[in-house]
C-alpha cells in the first residue's frame, strides 16, 4: 500500500478502536527492511514531535512550553507502531484502545498535578 505521508497522515486525528481521540499525527518515523527498502515504522504524536517537525524558533518554543509540564526531559513523543493502524481515511483509526498505548509525559503530568487534585476525580468514569 502506498500513501502520501504529508497528505494522508500528518495532522490527522488519531482515533482508538472505541472511537476516542488519542491525539494527532505530528510526525512519522521510517525504517529500512532487510533489503534496504524504507517503510513507515512509527507514528509520532505530542509536542516533542510537533516541535521537531516545525523546527526553528517556533518549534523550540513548542517543546520548551510542553517541557514545563514534565519532569523527564527532553520531551519525547508518544510512539505508535504503524502496525497498530487499522485504516486511514479522514482520521487514523487504531486497532487498540487508548488505555493500551503508553501515556504521553505531558498527559501524565496533567493527571498527576491537575486532574488528580480535583475533588472526586478518582471516582470519575467508573
Give the residue carrying C-alpha cell 514531535: 49
pLDDT at site 68 = 63
At residue 89, the pLDDT reads 93
Measured over the CA atoms of residue 41, residue 45, residue 50 and residue 52, the dihedral's sign is negative
Distance (Å, rounded) from C-alpha 59 to C-alpha 57?
A: 5
| Number of compact structural domains in the chain | 1
Between 26 and 4, residue with greater pLDDT:
26
Q: What is the Cα–Cα distance from 100 to 80, expressed in whole angstroms? A: 11
User: Would 125 be classed as within a structural domain?
Assistant: no
Has residue 56 been placed in a domain? yes
Is residue 18 one of the residues assigned to a domain?
Answer: yes
Q: What is the pLDDT of residue 15?
A: 94
Per-residue pLDDT tens over the stretch 54-74: 667 766 666 666 666 665 555
Domain-embedded: residue 86: yes
| CATH at residue 16 | 2.30.30.240
List the domain range (segments joined by +) for residue 97. 5-118
Amino acid at each position: 500500500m502506498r500513501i502520501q505521508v504529508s497528505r494522508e497522515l500528518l495532522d490527522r486525528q488519531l482515533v482508538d478502536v472505541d472511537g476516542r481521540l488519542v491525539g494527532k499525527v505530528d510526525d512519522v518515523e521510517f525504517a529500512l527492511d532487510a533489503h534496504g527498502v524504507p517503510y513507515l515504522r512509527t507514528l509520532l504524536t505530542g509536542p516533542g514531535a510537533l516541535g521537531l517537525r516545525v523546527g526553528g524558533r517556533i518549534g523550540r518554543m513548542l517543546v520548551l512550553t510542553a517541557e514545563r509540564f514534565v519532569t523527564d526531559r527532553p520531551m519525547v513523543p508518544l510512539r505508535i507502531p504503524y502496525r497498530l493502524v487499522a485504516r486511514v481515511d479522514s482520521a487514523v483509526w487504531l486497532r487498540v484502545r487508548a488505555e493500551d498505548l503508553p501515556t504521553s509525559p505531558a498527559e501524565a503530568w496533567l493527571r498527576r498535578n491537575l486532574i488528580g487534585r480535583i475533588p472526586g476525580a478518582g471516582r470519575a468514569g467508573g
